[in-house]
A = this chain, B = another copy of it.
Amino acid sequence: MSGRRHVDVASLVDAARAGSPRAVARLVSMVEDAGPALREVSAALAPHTGHAHVIGLTGSPGVGKSTSTNALVSAFRAQNRRVGVLAVDPSSPFSGGALLGDRVRMEQHATDPGVFIRSMASRGHLGGLSWGTPQAIRVLDGAGCDVILVETVGVGQAEIEIASLADTTLVLLAPGMGDGIQAAKAGILEIADVYVVNKADRDGATSTVRDLQGMLGLAGQYGPAGEHDVDRWRPPIVKTVAARNEGVDDVLAAIDAHRAWLERTDGLRARRRERAAREVEAIAVAALRARIGELRGGAALDVLADQVATGKLDPFAAADVLLAETAD
């Protein structure tokens, strides 16, 4: 049984690397479900990972994230890069597996074998990205994507978490959305590697850019164009009209410049090491929880908790017992 599964996983990985969207979809489902094959899939993929550039894309509702993602996919495809898209919807109660809700916008890419699109709900932790997101990134990376776009609504935790998953984080704003800048003030300053002011043909685009420059200037993060010192990345502000594909090449140039800077400063390796450290730790914690749940036929925690609740044991001593038993 285990042998048979092994064959399946290896074949699936081969098929995914050869460009089969069905194989990629199957692998994403396997890691997303966190089923018994998760470990095997992860091990089979590992040797093929580390190539893709992971791009996070976030912003308030209405700034044009979907349109921008679509335009970026087209631009990457024009460079013949293989693209994976993960659309994470933290508000969706549904599990992943479906194409994006608004399929129409991606229709032009739906039949392109160089593009893989997947929407995911955020299960597992409140308001944040799902446990499955890093695993799904790993699948797309191992399947040979050159670029992986992870799109999420910029609300609360998800916004911060996307930056911890991405090599390069794009924060989208649009003119006339005061909340965009407000949100920016709250926490976006630290996470954005590139600012994209979309809908730049609208009234107020200039003042949105100016507000942003002022804010970044105060934070010491903005200087004259091109004035990037070696140690420090000053997030550029790029204007786009994604619906008309205007400025999209500038976004690509900014992404590539950021990537080059990351490689020059060893920042890429540091980011990825940090990302992997978080992932490994989360897996270790989940494994500990699972072991605790299995101790003494599942009764250990309840018995200890009862002793704590009745004052016979303090919770730290109880935790020591649990840890000692899980280590056996």
Contacts and interface: CB of A to CB of B under 8 A. Distances in A.
A126 B157 CA distance: 9
Interface residues of A, number: 54
A44 to B, nearest CB: 8
Contact of A46 (B281, B306, B311, B327): B311
A15 interface: no
Contacts of A157: 126
A283 interface: yes
A310 B292 CA distance: 31
B323 A305 contact: no
Contacts of A314: 39, 42-43, 45-46
A43 B313 CA distance: 7
B281 A292 contact: yes
Interface string A260-278: 0000000001001111110
Contacts of A269: 306, 309
Interface in A272-316: 272-277, 279-281, 283-285, 287-289, 292, 301-302, 304-306, 308-316
B287 A323 contact: yes
A281 B308 contact: no
A317 interface: yes
A109 interface: no
B48 A284 contact: no
A113 interface: no
Nearest to A42: B314
B42 A273 contact: no
A56 B313 CA distance: 24
A28 to B, nearest CB: 16
A38 interface: yes
A323 to B, nearest CB: 6
A49 interface: yes
A35 interface: no
Interface of A: 38-39, 42-43, 45-50, 126-127, 138, 156-157, 269, 272-277, 279-281, 283-285, 287-289, 292, 301-302, 304-306, 308-320, 322-323, 326-327
Given A50-B311, A284-B323, A326-B327, 4 more contacts: A48-B311, A274-B305, A280-B318, A283-B319
19 contacts: A39-B314, A43-B317, A46-B311, A46-B313, A50-B309, A50-B311, A126-B127, A276-B318, A280-B315, A280-B318, A280-B319, A281-B289, A281-B292, A283-B316, A283-B318, A283-B319, A284-B319, A287-B323, A288-B323
